Amino acid sequence: MAWNQVPGMPELQAQLTEIPELYQTPANKLDAWIERFLQPNETFNSQVLEAIDRIATFLKENCFKTTQVHKVVKGGSSGKGTALKNGSDADLVVFLSAFQCLQDQYKERGSVIAEIREMLNKCRKSIAYELVIDEPRVNLDPKGQLRQPRSLSFSIRSRKVNEAIDVDVLPAFDILGHVTTDAKPDPMVYISLIEACAGPGDFTPCFTELQRNFVKRCPPKLKSLIRLVKQWYKTYLKTKYKGHSLPHKYALELLTIYAWEQGSRAEDFPTEQGFCTIMNLLCQYQELCIYWTTYYDFENPIVGNYVREQLRKPRPVILDPADPTFAVGQETRWDLVAAEAAVCLRSACSKNGLGPIQPWNVPPQTPIQISVRNISGSLLTMSVSPWVTVSQIKEEIQRKWSISIYDQRLCIQGLEPGRGLLQDGCTLADYNVFSNTTVNLLTTASQEINLFVRNTDGRTYTFQIQTHITVGDLKKKIQERLNVPAPQQRLTYSDRELEDHNPLKYYNIKNESTIFLLLRLRGGGKCDMV
């Protein structure tokens, strides 16, 4: 049967061809564009809910003969409230009594999916919807061994309207139990998940309720922005790069939420600015490290250490906020996504009358709060990336508290023995710091030392100085005493020329060290006679 002979397809094709090119849509028209072409109407929403409810009821009441169904949870775009017009998907996670642990789910889900397939085929008429069940996919693990399928995929179409809905049914172990979905699960839930040692995201369906609520809580305007990003993904990535391993659209949904949380948090915001922010972040994909502590954090040692290991993986890293084993989009073609995002930023939808739209100031890594405490107990709080260097933190302390970076010693309690003092060239991530923490500031008083300065005539002069003064300050003292203009002085120590802006501490100059004074010629040359 030809594509245009499939019931409902000509109408659907006509609807799709009416959607104007996103890249040619002016930025200030994006809200209207989303409302007209992407936002599902109430009739469509009610049809989706009716279809999903009917399938869920069948799974719970009529599908299994011996296994009890604890509950059926609705996820996917329909459950999250981010469905696209003419394109809705739903996940139905079936929590079964037959699974007493995660390993049961891993070993037996294949036979459960086969049973669901058989019962759906037998009961098509009673469901009152046309079902097209996909053929089972062959999945291999890294060792080449056959993996049991994770889900049963099919599409359903109402006999009354020409609207298709893609459905995935996923059997799962009820690891959350009676935990309310707005509370943080007990750490033992995640310890069990980590100890199960399955593949990345293998048990993600167990956390569907948390994933759904994480997105569902978003304000309507943010959900509209998510729809826009998903449409961009569908139109310009899935179509253009067929056959390539692209990040799942869930990664872009999470990136959209992160951009809004860091850049706006307003219920109403300029859609075009949010969209450009996401495209800008995609262009920086090699720097992305995004995570949340909504449902798991660093307090439990086992969970905390595991999450830190995940965050130290090669970027981009976007951790599922509900499942720490699922780094969304790992080992996929982010470079293709970034290339298309760069095209988008050059298009009409990313410009206004004054030129390119300015994105929100959103860092590519989830920022943390560090509180710097000095000896007197005063606190200096700053928001930084885990990949900020210790030197950069010291520079900020110098700017706020006027304490020379060379007089600062920073340490964090609880680090491994011998790693207490933070080294200038290291980052907080090097010390496994990915959450809010307190840094103690120790200051070292500048010492007064005797410094020997050997003049060009071979005579040596003694100066009593503080080691925190700069080379420029020392030149002024030499000028006062030896009547040699500072601009004509060239000072060297250990065969290294000293630069005016650096303090003497920078060169590790100690008590009774000798500095050589050379002269510059008036034309800028050097006179090296000693």
pLDDT tens profile 484-511: 999 999 999 988 999 998 888 888 888 8
Mean pLDDT (whole number) for 113-128: 81
Q: Would the pLDDT of 357 be above 90?
A: yes
Query: What amino acid is encoded at 487 in this protein?
Result: P
Q: Quick one: which of 348, 366, 365 has its CA closest to 357?
A: 348
- 321, 204 contact by CB (below 8 A): no
- Residue 46 has what pLDDT? 77
- 341, 279 contact by CB (below 8 A): yes
- Residue 369 has what pLDDT? 96
- Residue 14 has what pLDDT? 39
Mean pLDDT of the chain: 86
Token pair 């002979």 is found at 5
The full DSSP string for 122-149 is HTHHHHTEEEEEPPPP-EE-TTSPEEPP
- For residues 375-410, one letter each, b for 16 or more C-beta atoms within 10 angstroms of the residue's C-beta and e for the rest, the string is eeeeebebebbbbbbbeebbebbeeeeebbbbbbeb
- Residue 502 has what pLDDT? 87
Mean pLDDT (whole number) for 365-375: 94
pLDDT tens profile 264-279: 999 999 999 999 999 9
Which residues have CB under 8 Å from 296's CB, separation 6+? 184, 185, 187, 190, 303, 307, 324
Which residues have CB under 8 Å from 459's CB, separation 6+? none
- 21, 239 contact by CB (below 8 A): no
β partners of residue 466? 448
- Residue 522 has what pLDDT? 57
pLDDT tens profile 136-177: 665 655 555 666 788 899 888 765 555 678 889 999 999 998
Give dist(CA 104, CA 98) in Å, integer: 8
- Residue 507 has what pLDDT? 86
Q: Is the bond into 386 cis (omega within 30 degrees of 0)?
A: no
pLDDT tens profile 421-476: 899 999 999 999 999 999 999 877 666 788 999 998 889 999 988 877 889 999 99
Summarize the chain as % helix, strand, coil (round to 5): 40, 20, 40
- Residue 54 has what pLDDT? 84
- Residue 146 has what pLDDT? 60
Q: Quick one: which of 46, 18, 43, 44 has its CA closest to 33?
A: 18
Which residues have CB under 8 Å from 452's CB, separation 6+? 460, 461, 462, 463, 512, 513, 514, 515
Consecutive H or E run containing 75: strand 69-75
Task: Report the percent of the chain where pLDDT is more than 70.
Answer: 87
Token readout for 90 is: 């739903």
- Residue 197 has what pLDDT? 80
Q: Would the pLDDT of 11 be above 60?
A: no
- Between residues 293 and 130, which one has the greater pLDDT? 293
Give dist(CA 282, CA 275) in Å, integer: 11
Q: How confident is the model at residue 318 (pLDDT cuts 50, 70, 90)?
A: very high
Mean pLDDT (whole number) for 21-41: 92
- 131, 120 contact by CB (below 8 A): yes
Q: Would the pLDDT of 111 be above 60?
A: yes
Strands 355-356 and 139-140: unpaired
- 328, 319 contact by CB (below 8 A): yes
Q: Quick one: which of 390, 132, 183 has its CA closest to 294?
A: 183
Q: Would the pLDDT of 206 be above 70?
A: yes
Q: Would the pLDDT of 15 be above 70?
A: no
- 216, 79 contact by CB (below 8 A): yes
Going by the DSSP 8-state scheme, the letter that residue 302 receives in this structure is H
Q: Quick one: which of 519, 516, 493 has its CA closest to 506?
A: 493
- 319, 327 contact by CB (below 8 A): yes
β partners of residue 492? 497, 516
- Between residues 99 and 17, which one has the greater pLDDT? 99
Give dist(CA 304, CA 187) in Å, integer: 10
- 412, 431 contact by CB (below 8 A): yes
Which residues have CB under 8 Å from 248's CB, separation 6+? 328, 329, 332
User: pTM, whole model, 2 decimals?
Assistant: 0.81
Q: Would the pLDDT of 1 be above 60?
A: no
Q: Quick one: which of 216, 291, 308, 224 has its CA closest to 251?
A: 291
- Between residues 313 and 135, which one has the greater pLDDT? 313
Q: Would the pLDDT of 130 be above 80?
A: no
Give dist(CA 505, CA 466) in Å, integer: 9
Which residues have CB under 8 Å from 465's CB, separation 6+? 448, 449, 451, 474, 477, 504
Phi then psi dihedrals of residue 487, to 5 deg? -65, -20
Mean pLDDT (whole number) for 3-16: 38
CB atoms within 10 A of CB 304: 18
